[in-house]
């Protein structure tokens, strides 16, 4: 903790204790925890569910960790369900909103393959039209819809490939 105090003196910056929290692993003993908390000036441990909208910790099931992304996409779709939109309007909503929702998370984490597949299927259902009890005919498969417009497709993203590209950046 002396290093922290020296840094504060040298830089003139001070630790904001209201915005800071400490995370301890399960292997850290109670004595070490209390001494670190005492040395840091009583920084209180907070909630570690999310940080900047991203999960702070990914558990054993990555699907359950990132399931909230699918739920957010579904909520957007449900809010537009009763609207009378043209196919061009549907295209804009899919590209600008539905496929943009997971982009920030995809730039940091590799989403599970089945979650990407389910997100693609939600976009496909929205494109072709859907109702709770009725299934609509999908005239093209989603892979063909992902081809560039200049080559005869619609230019929709394949989210699994997009995730890999975002991580490669």
pLDDT of residue 107: 87
Among 8-17, 20-29, 57-66, 141-150, the range scoring the smallest mean pLDDT is 8-17
Q: What is the mean pLDDT of the chain?
A: 77
The more confidently predicted of residues 112 and 56 is 112
Q: Three-class SS of residue 51?
A: strand
Query: Residue 74 corresponds to which tokens in the numbers above?
Result: 């579904």
The domain locations on the chain are: 2-46, 62-168
Q: Three-class SS of residue 98?
A: helix
Integer angstrom CA distances of residue 160 from 58, 61, 96, 116: 19, 18, 17, 6
Read off the pLDDT of residues 29-43 as tens digits, 9 standing for 90 and up: 888 888 877 777 666
Kindly report the number of other CB atoms within 10 A of residue 7's CB atom: 13
Q: Is 76 exposed, middle or buried (0-12, 13-18, 19+ CB in 10 A)?
A: middle
Place of tokens 């040298």: 10
pLDDT band at 114 (very low <50, low <70, confident <90, very high): very high
pLDDT of residue 9: 56
Query: Residue 46 corresponds to which tokens in the numbers above?
Result: 């907070």
pLDDT band at 45 (very low <50, low <70, confident <90, very high): low
């Amino acid at each position: 903790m002396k290093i922290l105090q020296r840094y504060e003196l040298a830089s003139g910056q001070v630790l904001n204790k209201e915005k800071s929290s400490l995370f301890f692993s399960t292997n850290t003993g109670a004595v070490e925890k209390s001494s670190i908390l005492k040395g840091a000036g009583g920084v209180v441990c907070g909630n570690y569910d999310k940080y900047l909208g991203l999960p702070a910790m990914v558990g054993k099931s990555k699907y359950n960790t990132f399931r909230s992304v699918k739920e957010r996409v579904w909520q957007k779709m449900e809010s537009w369900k009763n609207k009378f939109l043209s196919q061009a309007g549907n295209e804009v909503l899919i590209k600008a909103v539905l496929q943009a929702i997971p982009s920030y998370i995809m730039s940091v984490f590799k989403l599970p393959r089945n979650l990407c597949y389910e997100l693609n299927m939600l976009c496909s259902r929205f494109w072709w039209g859907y109702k709770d009890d009725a299934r609509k005919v999908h005239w093209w498969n989603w892979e063909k819809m992902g081809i560039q417009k200049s080559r005869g497709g619609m230019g929709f993203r394949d989210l699994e490939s997009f995730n890999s590209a975002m991580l490669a950046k």
